[in-house]
């Protein structure tokens, strides 16, 4: 069975994704990194060999996040992930986000490129392509996220890849997918949010649509679909011995999350508009400011939930059938009902509102900043904040592993690797290339 494969992403900014980029100057970082020890593994996770994806080798050949994040997920559950990068510049995500004292690693890189080994190969050189095909032959999964046609321009067609490894599973993530009239357009998460219909819904009625958060949600979602596709394809390979291609467009991963809007338009011609912090299906259902200038979220999607809220507000009569006890009446009097809740919440501190609502089992939660999250006892109890010691940086906090498996929980073995930290190991031990040949390949900047 092939053992390892590579992946690529399609994240922001995509102008750096079309092909590996050259830095201003060649450094010795790659050579130095090979001698550096890996980051320590998390103390409370299973041994690598006990994890369900152990024995699967993934090649991640993309840039940024869409696609490569799927490789990170597989790595958390035991897959060996080889991050194939350009020998000089590496993945541009190394320079994307908040910088650190490590010249080749932002905090975004450390967090999202975790559980990977860095192998440098120049895919624009013929010898680099041949090395890469040898690596593919010994792998299970390949992930790439360049614009459609880029891999083919390098000679890495699906025909060539599958000839090297008939059982290869290949995930291809791009802005618009591998087919269709827009296939060659640049694809960013921000553009996918807009094109896929999500951004149209974000904001207040009649105002400029806003970003649905300041994170590349589409990159994460498309990677999750990619990870699911990989697992399904590996299952098919177990049954038949044959690999296949998984094609994910970032925009369609976003579009798939938009509940009933396609059915509502197709059947009724209904276009959902921006609703601010509320919801067209329920009221009160939104965000409310407390007297200590904090925010809470309340969700009352049924009559019973509103009855509980009315009791928490010490005005149970609000839930009577003559007032707002029925959903249809609350929806018809949306502004009135919201104003009652706004005034009540605004008269109390956040803790007071939480205490009263939780006592009546009203669905309520804090609108957490990241500072709130770090202090929250539930995040701590669930292990959602993983603390990893990183050489030269000290403790780095990253999101913990999900999903949570009872018998084989995932683990973080290392944060985003130094450039080329595993090139020698892979070339010498996996591909059986001599030390002298490795030296020559380095001198010619093929690796």
**Known catalytic residues?**
219
Conformational region of residue 339, where left means phi above 0, alpha means psi within -120 to 50, and beta covers everything else: alpha
Decide: 254 and 193 in contact? Cβ < 8 Å.
yes
b/e sequence 382-397, b meaning 16+ C-beta within 10 Å? ebeebebebeebeebe
Structure tokens at 321: 């059938």
Decide: 38 and 413 in contact? Cβ < 8 Å.
yes
Q: How far apart are CA 188 and CA 175, in angstroms?
A: 6
């Amino acid at each position: 069975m092939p053992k390892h494969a590579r992946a690529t992403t399609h994240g922001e900014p995509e102008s750096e994704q079309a092909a590996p980029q050259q830095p201003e100057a060649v450094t010795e970082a790659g050579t130095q990194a090979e001698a550096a020890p890996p980051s320590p593994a998390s103390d409370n996770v299973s041994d690598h060999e006990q994890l369900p994806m152990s024995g699967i080798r993934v090649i991640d050949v993309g840039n940024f996040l869409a696609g490569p994040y799927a490789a990170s997920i597989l790595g958390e559950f035991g897959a060996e992930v080889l991050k194939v990068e350009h020998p000089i510049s590496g993945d541009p995500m190394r320079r994307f986000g908040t910088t650190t004292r490590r010249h080749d690693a932002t905090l975004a890189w450390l967090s999202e490129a975790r559980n990977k080994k860095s192998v440098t190969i120049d895919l624009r050189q013929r010898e680099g392509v041949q090395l890469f095909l040898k690596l593919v032959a010994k792998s299970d999964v390949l992930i790439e996220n360049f614009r459609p046609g880029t891999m083919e321009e390098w000679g890495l067609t699906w025909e060539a890849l599958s000839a090297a490894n008939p059982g290869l599973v290949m995930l291809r993530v791009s802005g618009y997918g591998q087919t269709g009239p827009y296939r060659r357009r640049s694809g960013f998460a921000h553009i996918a949010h807009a094109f896929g219909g999500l951004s149209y819904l974000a904001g207040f009625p009649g105002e400029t649509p806003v970003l649905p958060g300041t994170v590349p949600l589409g990159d994460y979602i498309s990677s999750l679909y990619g990870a699911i596709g990989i697992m399904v394809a590996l299952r098919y390979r177990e049954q038949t011995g044959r690999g296949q291609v998984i094609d994910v467009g970032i925009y369609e991963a976003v579009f798939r999350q938009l509940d009933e809007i396609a059915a509502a338009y197709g059947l009724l011609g209904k276009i959902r508009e921006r609703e601010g912090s509320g919801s067209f299906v329920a009221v009160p259902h939104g965000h409310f400011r407390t007297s200590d200038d904090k925010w809470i979220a309340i969700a009352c999607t049924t009559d019973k939930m509103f009855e509980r809220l009315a009791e928490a507000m010490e005005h149970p009569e609000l839930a009577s059938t003559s007032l707002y006890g029925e959903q249809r009446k609350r929806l018809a009097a949306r502004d009135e009902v919201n104003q009652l809740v706004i005034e009540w919440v605004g008269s109390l501190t956040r803790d007071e509102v939480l205490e009263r609502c939780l006592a009546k089992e009203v669905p309520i939660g804090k609108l957490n900043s990241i500072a709130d999250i770090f202090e929250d006892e539930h995040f701590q109890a669930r292990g959602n904040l993983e603390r990893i010691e990183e050489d030269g940086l000290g403790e780095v906090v990253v999101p913990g592993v999900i999903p949570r498996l009872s018998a084989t929980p995932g683990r973080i073995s290392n944060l985003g690797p130094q450039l080329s930290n595993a090139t020698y190991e892979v070339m010498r031990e996996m591909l059986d290339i001599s030390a002298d040949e490795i030296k020559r390949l380095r001198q010619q900047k093929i690796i």
